[in-house]
Every structure is written in C-alpha cells, then in structure tokens.
Amino acid sequence: MTLPPLCTELPYHSDSEIYFEAIRTKQWPIFLDSGNKQHVDARFDIQTADPFITLMTLGDNTLITYNSGETQLSSNDPFYLLHNILQQYQPTQKSDLPFCGGALGYFAYDLGRRLEILPELAQDAEHIPSMAIGIYDWAIVSDHKLQKCWLVSYGLNANTHSIWDELVSKLQQAVLPAEQTEFQVISPLRQNFDRPHYQQAFDKIQHYIREGDCYQINLAKRFEVDAQGDPWAAYQLLRKQNPAPFSAYFSTPHVTVLSSSPERLLKVNGTHVETKPIKGTRPRDLDDPKRDKALADELQSSLKDRAENLMIVDLLRNDLGKVCEPGSINVPKPFELESFATVHHLVSTITGTLAEGHDAVSLLRACFPGGSITGAPKLRAMEIIEELEPHQRGIYCGSIAYIGFDGKMDSNITIRTLVYSQNRLRFWAGGGIVADSEADAEYQEIDDKAAAILKIIKQLSP
C-alpha cells in the first residue's frame, strides 16, 4: 500500500471512536464513520480537526478564513471558490488511502439555490450556513479490512510538521473517557405535516403528475424538539442503534450534524465515478425473520418500486452525462437489496468516467442536489418541494463529503440525519411520490424511515 509522505501507524481499534474522543474538542472536528461493518462500503473511518482554511456560505456570500487570521468575502459560486483553493495544494505523490488531506464538510440542500433559480416560499427556520467546508492537512484513517490505522498527511501546510509529534503522542495515549457527556430532549416533538396537511400536499403532487409537470416528487416531513447538552452523546446513541456506511459527525461554531446516512451521493477515484441512489423502502421485522425476509422479497419484486428507482437512475445518468465521457455511463448493479437496522432499501449503482477538464468538484456541482431526494425532472421537482414543504430543508438532503488534495471524493446524501443548533434538534423523513402512490402507504413510509431516530429521541427524553 502506498502511503503519503507524513505517516505514523497508530494502534488499531475496531471502534475508532476512541481517537475521535482525543480530537473532538479541537476546532471543526469531523468523523466520517463507516458504521455498519457488514456493509460493502464500510471499510474506512476518517477523522480530523483544526482546518487551516474554512469556507462558510451564508446567502450570496462565502466567508473564507485562513488560520493566519486573514479573511476574504466573496459572492462567487461556492463550488468555484472551493475548486480554486484545492487547486493551490497539489501533492507530489499519491496514496492508496481514501483521504490524506483536503476538503471536508457539508453542502446543504439549499446551496442548490446558487445553481438554479428557485422561488423562496418555504420558511427558513435553520439560519445556518448553506456550505461549511474545512481544508484539513491531516487525518486519522482506520482501515477495518486490514485492521490498520494511521495518522497521515501530504504535509502541504507548514504547521502540520510542527504539531506532528505532539499529535501522535496524544493519539497513542488516547483512552475512552470514564464518564459520558449528557444530552437531553426538553420538549415534546413538533412536526410540520399532520395527516390532513400531508394529504393536501400529496393531492397537489398527484395533480402535477397528471398535468405532466413531473413524474416523481420527494415529499419530506420535518420533526423538531428542544434539546440541550453535548450532541456527541446523541450521536453515540445513533451510531450504535442505527449504524450506516455513510455516517458522520461534524461540529462547527454554527451547527452540529449527526448523520446515519445509508446513501452514497458520488464517489470519485481517478476518473472513475460511482453513484448509488436509493429508491424503494420496506420496514424490517427483526423479531420475525420469516416476515423480515418476506418484506425484503416484496420490495425486490415490486414493479412500482423498481419503476420509481428507474426514474431516478435515468435522472442521474443525465446529470453524470454533463461531466462524463460520452458512452461511459453504465448501470452495472440495478435494483439491489441493501438491509439496514430498521429498513430494507432498493439501491442501484451507476458508474461513469470523468471527461477531460472535469474533476470531483465540477461533478458534485453538476449533480447537486442528488436526484434521489428531489424527484424528476429535478428543477421542477425542487420548485414543487419549495411550494409544498412548509420549511426549507437546510442540510437535510444535501451532502457531507470529502474531496482530497489528490482528487478523490466520497459523499453521502444527508438523510437519517439530525441537525443541532440554537438548542433545537431537527430531522426529516420523506419518500418519492409517483402516479400510483397511495397517501396512507407513503405517510407510513415516512414513519418507517424516521423510526430509528424517533426511538433515540424517546431515549433522550426525561
């Protein structure tokens, strides 16, 4: 295995939470947590903190802050700004590891307003940056397949060399704390769709489908509670009870994100591109293995769910076509069953080859936000979502991603995700509505998807 210039092997732990405990009080700590170790995509955990540059987009402006204290305010396209910064740091050699430094953070769903002209009808109750990205020069990478762990860096920031020995020492002595921190829910659960209002929105979508405006709309419900304490304690519960291959914990001064996402948005390695949209859901019944299997079989054989999945596959093929070589886009694995803690999902894999002149950032921009959480066609779906959902989505249905100095990228879609700021904890659940959808079944699917987080909310309540 080829490793980067700065590399120190650390003791391997099957649960790399122990290393995050050692760095999570630093600035902008982030933990990309592969969660479910049985999943094909659950090989690496990535952790880092103390970025030497940060980018935060609020409205039409992006604030770029350097660790020297220098700041810049720009109204340019946030994706362009990120691309421009990454281009300034080019490693002299490549590594086989997924990430050894680069950009890490979130792109909120509402960053899509910088890419498309959308109406502003839904309430913005989030009041957080639509993009929060750190540029990091070191990372702790745990490889659960090889059972190895390293502290790694391309050494592109001069400060990294001066802190290396101290950081290694801190990590080598890492231990789990004797006492856990606390986090508590302090209000009843609030929802922005009751059953009658959901029915009204559902009926409006059916009208738009009959009129030929759209084929599918992803309609989501927002849940909110008041809470207080250390959100890391809530994430520790989430990762134990609902492990998922694209989980993440990310804390910034404005907001903390706790994600147990099962869905990849985009992955790039060299010029190879992969996306894995989820469409199709059934609840699990772990108490009755026969019924659990029957639910899985029902999902795999459902013509409706396959048709719904195929609509999004076609949408994503079109998105990839903007930046991939003609003829390179394939669907090697359509309609595969993937099972998680509380639900079965239908997942398709789409691949392509990046065209010359394109990279991970231009790919992400071309495909943002992910089509599996908008509907088809994408722009009209986003307009209808803005009309019918009472609140803007914020981070929900955006993406948490890494984009390395070496050009590699992996990213999730921020579903099954909690967002904490201003003593408020929010999460969403939704589903795709098509012509033959039934309102009761769709409303039940929302509850099925929200089940794992609702259980945690209950456990955090007094």
Active site residues: 263, 279
CA pair distance 338, 346, nearest whole angstrom = 6
Give me the helix-helix angle, 195-210 and 439-460, nearest 10°.
140
Task: Mention every residue, 6+ apart, whose C-beta is less than 8 A from residue 44.
Answer: 32, 34, 97, 98, 141, 142, 143, 144
Residue 236 has, within 13 A of its CA and on its CB side, a CA count of: 17
Q: How far is CA 106 from CA 31, 71, 125, 270, 394, in A?
A: 12, 20, 18, 22, 11
CA pair distance 108, 368, nearest whole angstrom = 10
Strands 375-376 and 343-353, how do they pair? unpaired
Residues 247, 385 contacting (CB under 8 angstroms) = no
* Cβ atoms within 10 Å, residue 172: 12
- Residue 139, H or E segment: strand 139-143
